[in-house]
Chains A and B, each alone.
Chain A
Amino acid sequence: MLDLDAGKYAPFVWLAYGLTAFVFIAMIWSSLAYARRWKDKAQPKGPT
């Protein structure tokens, strides 16, 4: 069964997963924002 109770190790496990989620969100956000920003500048008259 799904075991989400990490017992006495919970702080370490959830901190590791939380950090990973945070870094992934940051990577996704920055990559998409970077691409979108320059796409808009490369097509100034196109639909944005």
Chain B
Amino acid sequence: MAAPAWAPTRRADGRRPAACGVPPQAAGLPLSAAKANALNMALAPTFLTNPDRFMAFSRWAAPLFGMLAVGLAAAGLWLGFTAPEDYQQGDTVRIMFIHVPAAWTCMFAYFCLGGASLLGLVFRHALADAAAAAAAPLGAAFTFLALATGSLWGRPMWGAWWVWDGRLTSVLVLFLLYIAYMALRGALDDEAKAARASAILALVGLVNLPIIHWSVEWWNSLHQGASVFRAGGPAMGPEFLWPLLLMALAYTAAFGALWLVRIRGEVWRRRAVALQLREARA
């Protein structure tokens, strides 16, 4: 039986086939990451793809977002703690003002991660990859907050630390996705490869996230045993809605500020690594 062109002969004699050294360009691959990055830095079209302009922008934008977050949080917390106790939940309703924004922000952070990964994968923007790398730990931290505060809210309300409620479970799966993303990124030594592999994973997760969310809701509807507790419910009064809204905006602004700071750190880190390489060559 004649072996086809791609069938390796390694099983017979254990030799490595000679094709290992084929340059990637010969295989129809796009430019190498370094070349694409150099090209990108030379031809950057907008302020967000140009690292220098991004640094100039984030220099004032990050503290601005930070101050915005502090102001909004102060207003939200004041309104939250002057609001009357909920007639059903008593004082535990105050946990809602930090739980629900954390849950929103961890979803938002994953969309940012997915969007940055898509840009990094398609256009090979170095800055987009830095943004994806910076978003993951923040998103994981917000997810942890959503889970922990949800658990602390659930204990007095449901009488259990954890309930297999649809929404809670999909946030838990989101946490696992963040962990998988960071684990993959940390496990690959080659930085360009790690960037692309983790971007692919982020996109796979982005496609799967709605399906996971929906499947968990469907699963929850099968098992009616768990009592589904709606946060506030549709009849939430304005005395709760306003602080919730302010806190949600504060969380979003805080995420924006921290994200910008971390992207700045990533850009500095890449510059430092490039500097070290240059010094080592000189």
Contacts and interface: CB of A to CB of B under 8 A. Distances in A.
Interface of A: 1-10, 12-13, 15-17, 19-20, 23-24, 26-28, 30-32, 34-39, 41-42, 44
B155 A42 contact: no
A32 B262 CA distance: 7
B85 A39 contact: no
B1 to A, nearest CB: 57
Nearest to B150: A16
B269 A38 contact: yes
B254 interface: yes
A35 B82 contact: no
B152 A15 contact: yes
A38 B94 contact: no
A19 B148 contact: yes
Q: Is the interface of A mostly helix, strand, loop or mixed?
A: helix
Contact of B91 (A13, A20, A39): A13
A44 B258 CA distance: 25
Given A12-B92, A13-B92, A41-B272, A31 B81 contact: no
Contacts of A38: 265-266, 268-269, 271-272
Interface in B196-255: 254
Interface residues of B, number: 37
A19 to B, nearest CB: 5
B141 A35 contact: no
A6 B94 contact: yes
Contact of A27 (B81, B138, B265): B138
Contacts of A4: 81
B145 interface: yes
Contacts, number: 99
29 contacts: A1-B82, A3-B83, A6-B91, A6-B94, A9-B92, A9-B156, A12-B95, A12-B152, A12-B155, A12-B156, A13-B91, A13-B152, A15-B152, A16-B149, A16-B152, A17-B98, A20-B145, A23-B144, A27-B138, A31-B138, A31-B258, A31-B262, A35-B261, A35-B264, A36-B265, A38-B271, A38-B272, A39-B265, A42-B275
Nearest to A24: B254
A35 B268 CA distance: 7
Given A6-B92, A44-B275, 16 more contacts: A7-B90, A12-B92, A13-B152, A17-B94, A17-B98, A20-B98, A23-B144, A28-B258, A31-B265, A34-B262, A34-B265, A34-B269, A35-B264, A35-B265, A41-B268, A42-B269
Given A13-B95, A20-B102, A42 B271 contact: yes
Contacts of B185: none
A27 B91 CA distance: 27
B110 interface: no
